Amino acid sequence: MVFFRSFVFLFVLHLLQGSNTSLVRLENNGYEGIIIAIDPGVPENEALIEQIKDMVTSASTYLFEATEKRFFFKSISILIPETWKENPQYKRPKHESYKHADVLVTLPALPGGDEPYTTQFSGCGVKGEHIHFTTDFVLGKKQNQYGPTGRLFVHEWAHLRWGVFDEYNDNEPFYSVTPRRIEATRCSESVTGMNRVYKCQGNSCALSKCKINSTTQLYEKNCQFFPDKEQIEKTSIMFMQSIDSVVEFCNEKNHNRDAPNLQNKMCQSRSTWEVISISEDFKNTTRMEKSPPPPAFSLLRIRERIVCLVLDKSGSMGDYNRLNRMNQAAKLFLLQTIENGTWVGMVHFDSNAIVKSGLIQIISTNEKDKLLSSLPTAANGGTSICAGIESAFQVIGAIYSQLSGSEIVLLTDGEDSSASLCVDKVKESGAIIHLIALGPSADKAITQMTTITGGKHFSPSDNAESNGLIDAFGALSSGNTAASQQSLQLESRGLKLSYNLWMNGTVIIDSTVGKDTFFLITWEKQYPTISLWDPHGTSMTNFIVDNDCKMAYFTVPGIAKAGVWTYNLQAKADSETLTITVNSRAANSSVPPITVNAKMNKDTNSFPNPMVVYAEILQGYTRIIGANVTAFIESSSGKTEVLELLDNGAGADTFKDDGVYSRYFTAYSANGRYSLKVRAHGGANTVTRSFRHTPNRAAYIPGWVVDGKIEMNPPRPEINKDSQTIVESFTRIASGDAFVVSNVSSSALPDLYPPSQITDLEATFDGDMINLTWTAPGDDFDVGKVKQYIIRTSGSILDLRDNFDDALQVNTADLVPNEANAKEIFAFKPGNISEENATHIFVAIRSVDKSNLTSKVSNIERVALFTPVPDESQPNPNSGISISSLVLIVVGSVVLVSIILSITICTIQKKKNSSKPTTGF
């Protein structure tokens, strides 16, 4: 038992790996398959493509030298919007899409909002989601503020690929080191510069020395660090790569562990190079002897969408009403989800395959009706998945000479031992396979096809009331069009009812959507009573009823009225299952709709490792905070777990109020596939658009110190960190890709999961007491209640990190833990400080559950035990003396000393000469 617990503990402490949406590969030290995608809203500008090439080319050389000749950029695909004109140089994408973009190039969300940043959902050492650049940044218009584009690309790549964090902190730009020394937050400390306040009134601006704030005992709010333009320090790229001399990452020897930055907080005071050095990339490479070749670029332009439905009609599809449910979902896809202009074909398969429709371009309802009439009506025969895929290739090849970028939506419920035989052909084709694995027996070999082609993977169960099959087809909007063109799901709900009972509810249609609003009702046995009212109380009666497929649907003409729509559905059969689905599109192409993206941190997992659920809510690229977000995780057998997702910066959630809602998931019920659905609801006056700067953004340089004088850069737009606007009420449904879990034990097991690590510990010194606040972890990660907290202090941050159990323990007898995610508050008087002249104390926490499993050591907080006073007479790196000035002073001093020595020697020599007797010849 002890061995088992130790084994599990090692698993739990292992870094969680990010979900592999990126197609990047590392081959022979070179990164291949990087996708830089230009947003569909960006106007055509060929100079942008050339600047992207220049940025990556210079970045490759900088990266190679910065990583001790280990890494470089080998091949890059630039994804060009369909709205740009055709060009002979532009090829058709293969598996590349916006979903897999490593870098997004967009217009700024706000005027002047050109800060480069990287979206990171997870903690230290875990890959990020994507890098975000604006067009003006890529075009080189912001170099004074952010530095050369190639160097900054390497800075952001380190975020994205290796999960390191920034070494500056706009929220804590200064910290105290000794009673007479305040430092700018930076790495390394050897970066020199000047601390000054820059104020403007009208057309007059002036610089002044920084003053101490009586509350924080640090410099006043407007004090800024202005770096010297000329430096000799080589580190660090994660602090300020725009300094010419900076060509390295901070390492264990020169890392500034005292600075209150994200790198120290998230990585337990380890340097960026230490984190990079334990990455899989680093382990799989060795130093290169020769310089690498320049990057190779492919220009890929998005073309019209090509989709072929490959639908299983084997005998097992007659079970659990699968065939009819598939037709209901396929009709939603053809009537609502698919975009106008898309080419669609259809293939049925059982033991063999038959082409039911060649490619038809969707222009009007006529094309949709023809495809709707081609859906299967009977289930029989075996299962030959490869036959279905081969026929789809023929359908697409009849019009297009290349299969690259085409999509195959494959729905199957059966096992097929021969499915693996066509995996290589699928990989070589360039087509993308989206898999809908229906029920618990769907062949697992096909999952490999979706992985290698970058397709989506859904796994709805036979539980009709979960509405998973309709959700899966509804989630197959094109990922290569603007969000304003995509069908968004506003509602998805099902209920099993007895005769004459009601399913009542409301749907919120906010003003960002309303075009092509589509209501779909399904049943299993008998057509129900359907009532639907708009926000003004007007009854909607024009439902189209399809009794063969047991569905009724209604499209709201024009733009649906914003507000609360009400529905009442009455069952007309016993043990009836009713579902309602509502989809809509953006009301105005110039106003981005609110969107929700749902995902797990991994696509495959082995018990007992935990997983993390993520849901990101955005309007364009602006984060939506304060929403209520719930995840529904369903096994292939139909068992559903419900989780409330949080944006509180604790437990599984990395950053508070960043629009990413997270939670640990450990409630595995069986081996096999699990599906993910997320419901987001925003109530008026509780949900806001947050305009705060993202946590991982490029350092804005306010100005440079040149020859002892500050030369200001253009100011960035002032955005109050609390700036936000109220969002109207809304609802959204999002389906994430399925994930597969193995090695789930069927027998009873001991407690496997410790409390989650505390990551938001804060400490302040007030009088003679240290006040602590943090978010309570749970008995199992972020669920339940811990048994106790262990709080320890030390005068050494490294001792506390590496030898926590040996540090001085604080008496916590009166500290009673709260339920997970509650706010904890505790104050204590520090014990005897071992060092007589100690100026700081470090504090950290571990929590213990009822099975005596302990969490990781929390983030370590520094508490100053003095009132800092800036000492202008003491030399320090922030003295404002530039390198050139320093050189002149040194040279001048040497010259002065030489003159003094010369005069002294001459004087002594004269005295010696005068004391000698005069002789004649």
Catalogue the active-site residues. 156
Two tokens, residue 849:
């559950």
Report yes or no: 406 and 306 within 8 Å, Cβ to Cβ: yes
Alpha carbons within 13 angstroms on the beta-carbon side of residue 121 total 28
Two tokens, residue 884:
């050139």
Dist. CA 434–CA 666, nearest whole Å: 27
Q: What is the dihedral of CA 231, 237, 238, 240, to 10 degrees?
A: 30
Report yes or no: 173 and 225 within 8 Å, Cβ to Cβ: yes
Instruction: Calculate Rg over the CA atoms of the chain.
Output: 32
Strand partners, 457: 435
- ∠ CA(245), CA(246), CA(252), 5° rounding? 130
Other C-beta atoms lying within 10 Å of the C-beta of residue 418: 13
Dist. CA 17–CA 611, nearest whole Å: 9
Token pair 């109380």 in the structure block, residue: 537
Contacts of 643 (CB under 8 A, 6+ apart): 613, 630, 631, 633, 663, 665
Contacts of 762 (CB under 8 A, 6+ apart): 772, 773, 774, 861
Burial 279-311 (b: 16+ CB within 10 A, else e): bebbeebeebeeebeebebbbbbbbebbbbbbb
- Pairing status of strand 296-301 against strand 75-80: parallel
Burial class (CB in 10 A: 0-12, 13-18, 19+), 178: middle
Q: What distance lies between CA 281 and its chain's CA centroid?
A: 20
Q: Is 463 helix (H, G, I), strand (E, B) or coil?
A: coil
User: Torsions phi, psi of 641, nearest 5?
Assistant: -105, 140
Angle between helices 46-66 and 149-162 (to 10 degrees): 70
With left for phi above 0 and alpha for psi between -120 and 50, is residue 743 left, alpha or beta? Answer: left
Report yes or no: 352 and 384 within 8 Å, Cβ to Cβ: yes
User: Torsions phi, psi of 178, nearest 5?
Assistant: -135, 170
User: Torsions phi, psi of 280, nearest 5?
Assistant: -65, -35
Alpha carbons within 13 angstroms on the beta-carbon side of residue 19 total 24
The helix (H) or strand (E) run that includes residue 357 is: strand 353-361
Report yes or no: 92 and 429 within 8 Å, Cβ to Cβ: no
Two tokens, residue 433:
């396979």
With CA atoms as reference, report the closest residue to 849 among 737, 919, 728, 751. Answer: 751
Dist. CA 669–CA 681, nearest whole Å: 28
Strand partners, 204: 201
Q: Which long-range contacts (CB under 8 A, 24 or more apart) does 812-819 make?
A: 812/788, 815/788, 815/789, 817/776, 817/785, 817/786, 817/787, 817/788, 817/789, 817/847, 818/776, 818/785, 819/776, 819/778, 819/784, 819/785
With CA atoms as reference, report the closest residue to 808 among 826, 820, 790. Answer: 790
Q: Which CA distances in Å does 274 have to 126, 255, 757?
A: 14, 10, 21
Strand partners, 599: 614
